[in-house]
Amino acid sequence: MTSNETSEQASDETRKPADAAERTGVWFVGARGSVATTAVVGALGVSHGLAPTTGLVTEHPELLPDGLPDLSSLVFGGHDVSSQSLLKKAEALAAGGVVPAAVVSAVSAEVETVDAEVRPGHVSGEESTAEAVERLASDIASFRDRHGLARVVVVDVASTQPPVDDPEQMVGLEDPLPVGAVYALAAFRAGAPFVSFTPSPCLRLPVVVEAAERSGLPYAGCDGKTGETLMKSALAPMFVMRALELRSWTSVNLLGGGDGETLADPEAARSKTLAKREGLDAIAGRPVPGPMHIDQVEDLGEWKTAWDHVRFDGFLGTRMTLQFTWQGCDSALAAPLVLDLVRLVSAAHAAGRSGPLPELAFFFKDPIGATEHRLSEQWRDLVAWREGLIA
Amino acid sequence: MTSNETSEQASDETRKPADAAERTGVWFVGARGSVATTAVVGALGVSHGLAPTTGLVTEHPELLPDGLPDLSSLVFGGHDVSSQSLLKKAEALAAGGVVPAAVVSAVSAEVETVDAEVRPGHVSGEESTAEAVERLASDIASFRDRHGLARVVVVDVASTQPPVDDPEQMVGLEDPLPVGAVYALAAFRAGAPFVSFTPSPCLRLPVVVEAAERSGLPYAGCDGKTGETLMKSALAPMFVMRALELRSWTSVNLLGGGDGETLADPEAARSKTLAKREGLDAIAGRPVPGPMHIDQVEDLGEWKTAWDHVRFDGFLGTRMTLQFTWQGCDSALAAPLVLDLVRLVSAAHAAGRSGPLPELAFFFKDPIGATEHRLSEQWRDLVAWREGLIA
Amino acid sequence: MTSNETSEQASDETRKPADAAERTGVWFVGARGSVATTAVVGALGVSHGLAPTTGLVTEHPELLPDGLPDLSSLVFGGHDVSSQSLLKKAEALAAGGVVPAAVVSAVSAEVETVDAEVRPGHVSGEESTAEAVERLASDIASFRDRHGLARVVVVDVASTQPPVDDPEQMVGLEDPLPVGAVYALAAFRAGAPFVSFTPSPCLRLPVVVEAAERSGLPYAGCDGKTGETLMKSALAPMFVMRALELRSWTSVNLLGGGDGETLADPEAARSKTLAKREGLDAIAGRPVPGPMHIDQVEDLGEWKTAWDHVRFDGFLGTRMTLQFTWQGCDSALAAPLVLDLVRLVSAAHAAGRSGPLPELAFFFKDPIGATEHRLSEQWRDLVAWREGLIA
Amino acid sequence: MTSNETSEQASDETRKPADAAERTGVWFVGARGSVATTAVVGALGVSHGLAPTTGLVTEHPELLPDGLPDLSSLVFGGHDVSSQSLLKKAEALAAGGVVPAAVVSAVSAEVETVDAEVRPGHVSGEESTAEAVERLASDIASFRDRHGLARVVVVDVASTQPPVDDPEQMVGLEDPLPVGAVYALAAFRAGAPFVSFTPSPCLRLPVVVEAAERSGLPYAGCDGKTGETLMKSALAPMFVMRALELRSWTSVNLLGGGDGETLADPEAARSKTLAKREGLDAIAGRPVPGPMHIDQVEDLGEWKTAWDHVRFDGFLGTRMTLQFTWQGCDSALAAPLVLDLVRLVSAAHAAGRSGPLPELAFFFKDPIGATEHRLSEQWRDLVAWREGLIA
Ligand SMILES: NC(=O)c1ccc[n+]([C@@H]2O[C@H](COP(=O)([O-])OP(=O)(O)OC[C@H]3O[C@@H](n4cnc5c(N)ncnc54)[C@H](O)[C@@H]3O)[C@@H](O)[C@H]2O)c1
Ligand SMILES: NC(=O)c1ccc[n+]([C@@H]2O[C@H](COP(=O)([O-])OP(=O)(O)OC[C@H]3O[C@@H](n4cnc5c(N)ncnc54)[C@H](O)[C@@H]3O)[C@@H](O)[C@H]2O)c1
Ligand SMILES: NC(=O)c1ccc[n+]([C@@H]2O[C@H](COP(=O)([O-])OP(=O)(O)OC[C@H]3O[C@@H](n4cnc5c(N)ncnc54)[C@H](O)[C@@H]3O)[C@@H](O)[C@H]2O)c1
Ligand SMILES: NC(=O)c1ccc[n+]([C@@H]2O[C@H](COP(=O)([O-])OP(=O)(O)OC[C@H]3O[C@@H](n4cnc5c(N)ncnc54)[C@H](O)[C@@H]3O)[C@@H](O)[C@H]2O)c1
Ligand code: NA
Ligand code: NA
């Protein structure tokens, strides 16, 4: 690896027009986690015609899928701190009902190939931030070179990190940066666009924002919008449009293992609840009271159940109630969005876009650079932006 | 009343520019029913500052409320076949928790004044259709003249009627017209715009469509979108945008007295279920299977509980479920929409619009002239149309 | 087969004291259906230590399991009109998540052995009732002889049959008997106790009751209590004990394929809804109003979702509501009860009991000979009866 | 008041056989709270035939109501630290839909009479415990004498207190006793049986237990079982009887003002959650995991919504789920139980019973002296005990 491969100028080199033969790299931070594994198994399964494209937003004709990288053109690799193999994880997900066992066994050899592309992740305190950025960037660049990829999109799907107390203080590499920020800096250094799918503060730290600016690369985030927050972004606008007064909105999330375990740590959960609250209040135009809980319920496994209780007033103050129960599989909801983001950010990069991509707010609980939380409006913005990429 | 007061040309006479002093008539078909009574009590209550404007869509700044008739400028009257007084009904609604008892007693004198403006409704078979049209139109015109109203908007909130088997066969007054059609013909004859808030087939009968055309009057309908269908129009687009596959959508509606009693008649209920299904299938782009029930549960009174069970597939076919329970008060949901429609149709009339108003689809389960069922898109269409009324 | 093997006196012959070496036959009517297949797979799986005894009521120490036939001592056979093999059905159930795939493959050889014991069932009109009784009884007796079984318990888990209009008219073999009755007559003729797990009228027809009496055999039924009715029998007593007034109880059942398909036939569903209503009214001491629906929702597969909405009044008439959603797998709920019934009825037979067994009401929606529908009281009756079998 | 009126021997004096002319005193600690006020309004309303006896368990024929004090023979008084009048509270409860406004106005004069019997409550630190016991006991005894009451039952329905860290350390009046204990000591000193309807530790403190023993008076508690815990005690036995494995039980309680406000204090809430957990684990025979939340949601007013999510395994480990939503009015659930307890404890006292009354476990979340939490078994124990009072 030569130094300019990982320099911020490297990004220019990768700006060749997209063509059919072109292959796109996907570099997962947290490559052996549930979301990354489901995305890998799913991309392979769909490519081989073993599963329909359900859940893939970018297959909508309005998003002009023909101009986006094919799932079959994606090449996967990543960082992780876990040594449990991707295939083991895929088998565990199959046992938990997240992915079909038949698909996992059909693509198992390819999954092992991906696993061979996973490099050791960064652990705070085990190396200096500067060393880490250099090492991680080198891993990404070398992946790109080795496979002759048109570009690599880095997607952070690592475990949720606690929020940062004084984000605006984090201006240099010497500060105690959250791990997500280290990966973002490495991506930019390697000339790779970056997507934060976790509830991470990293894309708002001055040190990261400045590096992104210098790199001229596009980036997007953060915190994938999959379950209850998705529901809120579809439902809360209904109350507003109909002038029905939201009096309280209670949210209870029951999560099984994996991310649930991380979120059982109240500090980490705080990142998540902050991101979840914001959208509702923004749509309502004022804070809507009501408790919000994220609880780990071990035996739910990969499944999540959310119960929401919404009290609203109608005409003349008449008291009414809406309750819903959402029973979803988080990884199966998140994985196709991750692939959508790779395709769209890849197209943005090919089209020379740089900086935050607020038009991707449709995918996020806490969209960088955007204030729009209403799902339908986000969809319109997304469609318009996608059309604009071509013009 | 002179004949040209009720002639179809009369409408022109009423097309004077709106001004502050102007008063607008509201003529309810079914004036002593729950929806009409709640609308009357509510309009009076809000006008006197006894209740907030919750539920009134037309108070949204985007809908430019300043250019719409004030609630306090509305004058109410109507037809009904019931002889129970409006005040009795209002007191019953207060006892049932639909409207605050304090508001009812504060406005009771005015409610009695409205009751004095209720004229005998039309009962099939008791008079010929031609006679009925003439008599009913005369009631409307005389109401307008007596009160010096700028215009009268007729709103059908009478009991749900069964669907018509061969609507396209109904071309003349001699045919056995559904009662809603008779009222629509009377409205047009009296030069009054017409809104069908019931699940009625009347606005699609050739005899009515032609009369509307000849009259040059605007009209809108049909079947107010208040509960479960409202939810569907907010939620179904979420599944579509996210490419989640809707496998089944089950809907169960439990209704108390009033409209529930009418809908316990399977024939009448059929009108309602037809209107309710259509929107979902239109949004999904294909029929979504699943049973739909409307049941009367006496002891629910004025309250309605809807339970919906939605089965959808995510990525790789993972099976997920959404359930919701909606506990609403139908009359309190419908009444402000009725007032919104009066204000908007009144403005359309003042602006010289004629024919069906598809941009009011936001308010209806089965919108005349429109194919858009997605709530957010309907909202955008409504806002754009409202702006266009002024330009 | 000699005539006295199938004669009604044959039962005496089989009344030898239970001993450890003894093996018990289980003869399923509907042997290739979901419930029977799950029972077979489960009995084998538990016997081999591949699954815990979850769901097996007879493993409760209070029911003195040591004196009941071991699961591993059961020998299975049966009648069916379907030619799809038990193993195919077991694999389909594994794919649907009802039974673990690993258990099915571990016991597949034994499942094939059971399948070899399935004989052609009886189809109305294809043979006379007398011929059918003779043929079916002979199958049962020959199964007993061939395997040297201490006794055979016949359990009807065939598809739900429509109710019979004039049950009291069915006094002889020449009458158009429902198929369940034909099987019951055959069981008694073969000297085998009979359990009706379906919502069948057969155990109340004079012709069957008399044959049972002549045979001196014990019998039990009918309609296994698994889901919503189970819930009602646990919950309704709470309202009664607490003097809370039940105003309405609405029940909605969504069923997938299999039995759901049968119940999509309104005639067959009528049997089920009748059985479901009765218990609630008996517990409440008066009819509790409220709609009840059984709907087929194809994509639910082997799963059932029931939603119940209960309106009750508290002190001074305060209106309150309870809703519940039950998401269960019907075959997995039914199968262990079927095994429990085999064990208990077998013990009753060994102890010389005859006639209806009302103390087994715990297991049934529509218990023969019993008026008690409260679950806890049924449990006490069951425990006391079980103790009495030994004394 | 003479000293022996309040001495512990006084109780004997009040042990005259119950007769028709006899009147029973009810002394509420927290007399101006929601539960007490609802009980007073309800007792008066039912006595005057303005409301049915819904919710009154003691009206069940099995509980031999004829031998219990009539509601119309009850005389009310109590302690409170609030100066808001009972009538004001009653009107607020009527506005909140807890009690009918018509009943409140019909009994308003009698409510004011009760209010005149309310004496200042005890506030920790404002007087010594010994002084407080003396003063409060004197209030109770003087109430009994003034009205010539056969006996007075003291019922603690004051605000929830935090749990005590070392209950077994509290052996004398000099220890920092929780307020509930002070009231219990005062009751015993005044010769009055005591019922703790709050989640209070007081009936388990050595100092209280010894005073109770010396007094020879009966007592019962604690924490009225009204909503979710009631449901658990009806439902959990179903899972156990059916050998269905409880994997997790999640409970979420949303409460409005009043007690909700107190429970927003995490310390006070801890008393409540401890009491709520215990019953389930006792029924299941082992700890059942799952989060439990008690949240204040201001706008729910006097209403409570509880959502429970129960995961259980069936045969062969099949995963199933039960969810329920309970929408109840806590005061309307609690008030009749309070009256039931007064009637039953009064009868126990008349019959010469002393010490804890474990057979009243039916009424409590955390029954003193009892280990039985299953509702039906508690009911049987109650009925048997009631019969025994007479024999
Ligand atoms: N699934 C969803 O619906 C959803 C929605 C929004 C956001 N997310 C976010 O996606 C992320 C991943 O979720 P998941 O369910 O896959 O979690 P997971 O726990 O299964 O996977 C996280 C992976 O990150 C790895 N990891 C941890 N620290 C790391 C580090 N310092 N460097 C590199 N790798 C590291 C872990 O070893 C693990 O393999 C979480 O942050 C979650 O909050 C998920
Ligand atoms: N409330 C809602 O949320 C909602 C939503 C959509 C549509 N709607 C429709 O609004 C209508 C009114 O509902 P409601 O709850 O007020 O019902 P309602 O039964 O309380 O009132 C209907 C009124 O119509 C009168 N009526 C019956 N036949 C008539 C006739 N031939 N001429 C004149 N009047 C006649 C009745 O006497 C009654 O006063 C129904 O058709 C209902 O389907 C209501
Ligand atoms: N699963 C439950 O929770 C539950 C509860 C109560 C009662 N039941 C009853 O158990 C029965 C079986 O349910 P299932 O889910 O297994 O249904 P299923 O449709 O899977 O199986 C029924 C079997 O009966 C066979 N059959 C039909 N007619 C027959 C005949 N004349 N002779 C012999 N066999 C015949 C069918 O071929 C099929 O194999 C139904 O009657 C159902 O109502 C089930
Ligand atoms: N409502 C139910 O379903 C239910 C069920 C179980 C237990 N409880 C318990 O009943 C109690 C009363 O509930 P509520 O809803 O009536 O509450 P509330 O807040 O309406 O009433 C409590 C009353 O106690 C008074 N109080 C506070 N401290 C006092 C003191 N030191 N001395 C005397 N009075 C004092 C308050 O002033 C108030 O009037 C609570 O402890 C609650 O936990 C209620
Ligand atoms: Na509605
Ligand atoms: Na069932």
* Distance from residue A126's CA to the centre of ligand 1 (Å): 20
| Cβ contact B311–C300 (<8 Å) | yes
How far is residue D111 CA from its own chain's centroid?
21
For testing contact with chain C, the best of B98, B261, B293, B297 (most C CBs within 10 A): B297
Task: State whether the beta carbon of D34 lies less than 6 angstroms from ligand 4.
Answer: yes
Q: Which chains touch A (3 or more CB pairs under 8 A)?
A: B, D
B243 φ/ψ sector (left φ>0, alpha ψ -120 to 50, else beta): left
How far apart (Å, rounded) are the C-alpha atoms in residues A86 and A119? 12
Average pLDDT for D271-278: 69
Q: Is the CB of D340 under 6 A from ligand 4?
A: no
CATH number for domain C3-224+332-390, candidates 1.10.10.10, 2.40.30.40, 1.20.140.10, 3.40.50.720: 3.40.50.720
C108 to B127, C39, C45, C90, D316: CA distances (angstroms): 77, 14, 10, 9, 16
Whether the predicted pLDDT of D8 surpasses 70: no
Q: Output the six-digit token pair for C61.
A: 């120490």
Partner residue facing D54 (CB), from C97, C245, C335: C245
Res B12: pLDDT: 41
Distance from CA of B371 to the nearest CA of C (A): 28
Q: Would you tell me how many other CB atoms lie within 10 Å of the CB of residue B253?
A: 26
**How far from B266 is each of A312, B33, B239, CA to CA, in Å?**
32, 21, 31
DSSP state, residue B159: P
Please spell the DSSP secondary structure of D137-198, one letter per residue: HHHHHHHHHHHT-SEEEEEE-PPPPPPPS-GGG--STTS---HHHHHHHHHHHTT--EEE-S
Contact between residue C120 and residue C82 where contact means Cβ atoms under 8 Å apart: no
Structure tokens at B110: 């005015």
| Contact check, Cβ <8 Å, A252/D293 | yes
Contact between chains at D313 and C54 (C-beta distance less than 8 A): yes
Q: Do B252 and C290 touch (CB under 8 A)?
A: no
Distance CA A385, CA C309 (A): 46
Alpha carbon nearest to ligand 4 atom 11, residue: D157
Angle between helix axes D34-47 and D86-95 (nearest 10 degrees) is: 90
Query: What subunits make at least 3 CB pairs under 8 angstroms with B?
Result: A, C
CA distance B17 to B6: 21
Find the residue in A nearest to D289 (Cα). A297
Contacts of A41 in chain B (CB under 8 A): 316
* Cβ(C51)–Cβ(C103) below 8 Å: yes
Q: What average pLDDT is seen over chain D?
A: 91
Assign B10 a pLDDT band (cuts: 50, 70, 90): very low
Query: What letters, b where the CB count within 10 A reaches 16 and e where it falls short, cover C64-103?
Result: ebeebbbbebbbbbbbbebeebbbebbbbbbebbbbbeeb
Taking alpha carbons only, the member of D146, D150, D35 closest to residue D99 is D35
Q: Which chains touch D (3 or more CB pairs under 8 A)?
A: A, C
CB of C287 within 8 Å of a chain B CB? The answer is no
Domain boundaries, given as residue ranges, for chain B: 3-224+332-390, 228-329
B300 vs C contacts (CB less than 8 Å): 248, 311
Please, what's the b/e burial string for B307-330 (b: 16 or more CB within 10 A of its CB; e: otherwise)? bbbbbbbbbbbbbbbbbbbbbbbb
Q: What is the DSSP string of D41-92?
A: HHHHHHHTTSS--TT-GGGSGGG-GGGS--GGGEEEEEEES--S-HHHHHHH
Q: Which of A98, A244, A246, A250 to mutate to test the interface with D (most CBs of D within 10 A)?
A: A250
Q: How far is the CA of B33 from the centre of ligand 5 (A)?
A: 15
Cα gap A228→D41, rounded to integer Å: 43
What is the architecture, at CATH level 2, of domain C228-329?
2-Layer Sandwich (3.30)
Residue B373 has pLDDT above 70, yes or no: yes
Nearest CA to ligand 3 atom 21: C33
Q: How close is the Cα of C74 to the center of ligand 3, in Å?
A: 21
The answer to whether A315 contacts B54, with C-beta atoms less than 8 Å apart, is yes
| Residue C297 · residue B311 · CB < 8 Å | yes
Instruction: Print burial letters for A302-335: b (CB count within 10 Å at least 16), e (below 16).
Output: bbbbbbbbbbbbbbbbbbbbbbbbbbbbbbbbbb
C vs D, Cβ pairs < 8 A, gives 186
Distance from residue D325's CA to the centre of ligand 4 (Å):
24
Confidence of residue D263 (pLDDT cuts 50, 70, 90): low
Q: Is D220 helix (H, G, I), strand (E, B) or coil?
A: strand
Q: Which atom of ligand 4 is nearest to the CA of D123?
A: 31
What confidence tier does C157 reach under pLDDT thresholds 50, 70, 90?
very high
User: So what's the pLDDT on residue C3?
Assistant: 40
- Write the residue with the smallest CA distance to atom 32 of ligand 1: A121
Q: Which residues of chain A have pLDDT under 50?
A: 1-18, 20
Please report, rounded to a whole number, the percentage of residues in chain D having pLDDT higher than 90: 79
User: Helix A206-215 crosses helix A179-189 at what angle (to 10 degrees)?
Assistant: 10
CB distance B89 to ligand 2 below 6 Å: no
pLDDT tens, position by position, B14-35: 434 445 468 999 999 999 999 9
* ipTM tops the 0.85 cut: yes
Find out whether B154 and B183 touch, Cβ atoms under 8 Å. Answer: yes
> Is the Cβ atom of D226 under 6 angstroms away from ligand 4?
yes
CA–CA distance from D355 to each of C280, D133, D141, D387 (Å)? 39, 20, 20, 18
Residue B1's SS3 state is: coil
Mean local confidence (pLDDT), B298-306: 90
Strand order through the sheet with A151-156: A118-120, A74-80, A24-29, A151-156, A194-196, A218-221, A355-356
Is the sign of the CA dihedral A87, A91, A93, A99 positive or negative?
positive
**Spatial distance between the Cα atoms of A91 and C69, rounded to a whole number of angstroms:** 39
CB–CB contact D254 A254 (8 Å)? no
Q: How does the average pLDDT of chain B come out, rounded?
A: 91
Closest D-chain CA to A245? D299
Q: Give me the mean pLDDT over the D261-285 stretch.
A: 74
Residue C323 host element (H or E): strand C319-329
- CB of C226 within 6 A of ligand 3: the answer is yes
Q: Which atom of ligand 2 is nearest to the CA of B328?
A: 3
pLDDT score of C273:
67
Residue D148, φ and ψ in degrees, nearest 5: 60, 45
Which of C192, C316, C152, C338 shows the shortest CA–CA distance to D94?
Answer: C316
Reported as a single tens digit per residue, the pLDDT across B317-327 is 999 999 999 99
Res C302: pLDDT: 86
Distance CA A316, CA B99 (A): 6
- Inter-chain residue contact B250 with C247, CB threshold 8 Å: no
Which of C210, C230, C311 has its CA nearest to residue C275?
C230
> Cβ(A355)–Cβ(A213) under 8 Å?
yes
| Per-residue DSSP letter, A159 | P
Mean pLDDT of B45-61: 97
D29 DSSP assignment: E
* Structure-token pair, residue A103: 């698909």
Instruction: Give the distance from CA D87 to its chain's centroid.
Output: 21
CA–CA distance, D120 with D135 (Å, rounded to integer) = 10
Residue with tokens 């985007």: B62
For a substitution probing ligand 2, which of B81, B196, B259, B360 has the most ligand atoms within 8 Å of its CB? B259
* CA pair distance C85, C106, nearest whole angstrom: 17
Judge: A314–B333 Cβ closer than 8 Å, yes or no: yes
| Residue B31 Cα to ligand 2 middle (Å) | 8
For residues D249-257, average pLDDT: 91
CA gap A273, A263 in Å, rounded: 10
Q: Please, are residues C344 and C256 in contact by the beta-carbon 8 Å criterion?
A: no
B231 near A CB under 8 A: yes
B148 touches chain C (CB under 8 A): no
User: Interior CA angle at B95 toward B93 and B99, to 5°?
Assistant: 45
CB of D334 closer than 6 angstroms to any ligand 4 atom = yes
Phi–psi pair at B247, nearest 5 degrees: -95, -35
Among chain A residues, CA nearest to B331: A315
CB-based burial of residue C47 (10 Å sphere; 0-12 exposed, 13-18 middle, 19+ buried)? middle
CA B19 to chain centre: 26
The span from the CA of B101 to the CA of D97, in Å, is 13
pLDDT in tens, D342-352: 999 999 999 99
Out of A57, A230, A317, closest to residue B54 by CB: A317
Q: What does the pLDDT read at residue A284? A: 96
Tens of pLDDT along C161-175? 888 888 888 888 887
Cα D336 from Cα D350, distance rounded (Å): 21
Pairwise CA distance, residues B124 & B122, whole Å: 6
